[in-house]
Structure 1
C-alpha cells in the first residue's frame, strides 16, 4: 500500500530504513502497482533549468537501487517483480514470501531465456555481453534479449551481482548469490 503521508527521504540511510520498513518497494512508481516507490518518497530536487545531468533526485534513486543491495547484501535485494517492475525488497520478505510465490524453474522459461541462463551459469555476464553472445549476427533484437533477462529476473533464476565496484549490470545465477534461498536446480 502506498503511504498516505510519504516519508521525505533525503539520505542513503533514510532510503535503507524505508526499504526495510516497506518490505518491498518499487524503484519508480507505477499505475500497475499499489506498492510504495522510492521515487515517490525521495525529497531531493529534480533537474533545474540550465542544469546538466539528471538532477539530484534521479541521480540518488538510480544510485541507491544498486548501492543498497551492494552495501547491505544480507538485508536488501534488487530485482524485478511480475510485470518487469524494478523493486527493492528486504531479504526476509524475499525468503519467506516472494521467492516461494514467484520462483519458476529455468526449464519453464522461454528458449531464449534458457540460452541466456546457460551462458550466465557458466560465468557472470553483463547485459551487453549477453546481447552479443545470444545474437552474434544481430538476428535477435535487443528487446528480445532484454525481455529474456527480465523473464529470468522475475522467475528468480538470475540476479544482478551485488559486487560494489561494478559499473554495469552483471548477471549471476540467483542461487549463486543467494544459496540459502535459491538452493539451485
Structure 2
C-alpha cells in the first residue's frame, strides 16, 4: 500500500498506466485503490487524507519526474498517470489524432494554447466569450484535446491551476517520433 509520493512513483513505474481514481470505464489499476490513508471521516472538514494525497500526487508526480511520469486523460475522459516509455511507444501512437480531425471549437481552443499557456478558468471564460459555446461544450472539447494528445498539462509544481500547452511543445521528442506517420 502507498503512503508516500516515492511509493506512488514506483507504483506508476511498475504498472505503466493507472487511473487517478477508480473507474468502470477502463480496466487499469487506480492510484486511489493503492493509497493507504483513511477516506474522509464523518464530520471531518476538507477532503480527508486520502483525497488530499491522491489529488496532490497526480500533479506533483509529473512535475517532479517530468521525463518519467505523464499525466493526462485517456479514452473515456479518465484521468491517468503513465510511465513515459509506455506513453511514447504504446499510448501516444494509438491515441493521437490530428487537430484537423477535431471540431471547430476544439481547434479554436488548440489555436489559443499553441500560442501561449492558458489555465482552464481563463481559457474557458475567453472561449465562451469568443465563440459563444456552453461550459459543457468547452469542457468536452478540452477533454477531447487531452485524450487525443493535442494538449497537455504544463508540468510546473508552482502553478496551482491546470495550465495547458500543446502536447508538441511539452513533449517534442515524442511528437517527432510520429509526426510523419
Aligned to 2:97: 104
CA distance in 2: counterparts of 1:139 and 1:117, whole angstroms: 16
Q: How far is 1:50 from its partner?
A: 2.2
Q: How far is 1:138 from its partner?
A: 8.5
1:83 lines up with 2:76 in the alignment: yes
Within 5 Å, which residues of 2 pair with 1:66-81? 66-81=59-74
Question: Which has a greater percent of helix?
Answer: 2
The aligned length equals 178
CA distance in 2: counterparts of 1:139 and 1:120, whole angstroms: 18
**TM value normalised by structure 2:** 0.95
User: Cα deviations across residues 87-118 of structure 1 (Å, max 9, x unaligned)?
Assistant: 00000000011011110110011110000000
CA distance in 1: counterparts of 2:44 and 2:76, whole angstroms: 34
Look up the SS of the partner of 2:50 in the other structure. helix
When the two chains are superposed, the root-mean-square deviation of aligned CA atoms in Å is: 1.4
Gaps of 5+ in 1: 1-7
User: Cα deviations across residues 44-66 of structure 1 (Å, max 9, x unaligned)?
Assistant: 01112221101000000000000
Aligned to 1:52: 45
Aligned to 1:143: 136
1:124 to 98, 117, 125: 117
Aligned to 2:166: 173
Q: How far is 1:132 from its partner?
A: 1.5
Aligned to 1:156: 149
Q: How far is 1:131 from its partner?
A: 1.1
CA distance in 2: counterparts of 1:137 and 1:126, whole angstroms: 16
User: Cα deviations across residues 135-159 of structure 1 (Å, max 9, x unaligned)?
Assistant: 1178311111111110100000000
**TM value normalised by structure 1:** 0.93
Query: Hey, which bits of structure 1, 4+ residues long, moved more than 4 A?
Result: none
User: Cα deviations across residues 151-179 of structure 1 (Å, max 9, x unaligned)?
Assistant: 10000000000011001000000011101
